[in-house]
Amino acid sequence: MPPSFIPCGSRLGRLPISLAHRMAALLIATAVPGALSGQAAPPAPAGIPTVTATAAAPVEPVVTPFANFYVAAGQAKFDVTGINSRLNINNGFFALSGDGYTTGLGFYIPVGGIMAGLEYDLLDMGYESTPAGKTDVLKANMLQGRVSFRLLSTWDVTLHGDLQLGVGTVSAKFRDRAGGASLAPATNPTWDEILLKPGAESEMRGTFYTVAPGMGIDYIFLKDAKSQRGFTVGVQFATSLAPHRTAWTYGGRDVFGAPDGAPVSTQVRITVGYGGFALAH
């Protein structure tokens, strides 16, 4: 039987059907992959969001403020206005200075979202001495509870706002080289009576309370990137306020007509200590 023919254009003439099928298959196998390789992916239908796969970012640990155990030293300011108003030519004592220095030790540790701690301080306001041999000395000590709020915390720096509530005792000693009689212990004396008859030494002690808002910054020296402990250094600023008058006693008895006296004004201190922190994930 003679082979069948199909029309394939005027120039090609007629080709056998089986040969035409082979040529068509070869054409498709060659042209289609090339066309697909240069063709961009079809756009996603409108309204369907596209998702791009990316690697998950590592979770950074949260740095909590480091705990700090420290010693402190700096300036002290004490309200001696009322005391000095009672030191005059009649009793022969010189006025005291309101500027002195303070030393102390304390600590704070992170508790939840705050830092809590305690601090004990000694204040030395110095003394004054007259050519006649009369001396007056003023010193104090304080115990303060502390609550601090983190303002900034990094691997090695903590910036914090502070609120300190404290109770303290002030000691005012009056000495006379010549000695002489002192007040009888049977009565509650006045402040001026004690100054007129101090004897070899008379001491009056007062109790005061303070509120001291402030702020500070502490730096911890870390040996390497894995360290979480190290020595610390810091600076603290605090302004002391006394909510009420100082209550004075002499030999365990109340003193009448006593002046006020307590830490006041802004004080600056330097701290040196040792501390560390923990990582919270």
**Nearest C-alpha neighbor of 217 from the set 166, 126, 170, 154:** 154
- Give the pLDDT score at 50: 52
- What is the predicted pLDDT for the residue at 184? 76
Give the model's pLDDT for residue 61.
56
pLDDT tens figures, 259-273 = 999 999 999 999 999
In this prediction, residue 154 carries a pLDDT of 85
Q: Which residues of the chain have pLDDT under 70?
A: 1-63, 185, 279-281
Contact 162, 234 (CB under 8 A): no
Per-residue pLDDT, 63: 65
Residue matched to tokens 């808002």 = 213
Tokens for 220, please give them.
């911890």
Question: What is the per-residue pLDDT for 226?
Answer: 82
SS3 21: helix
Cα angle value 151/119/280 (rounded, 5°): 40
pTM for the full predicted model? 0.73
| pLDDT tens string 43-89 | 555 554 554 545 555 555 556 788 999 999 999 999 999 999 999 98
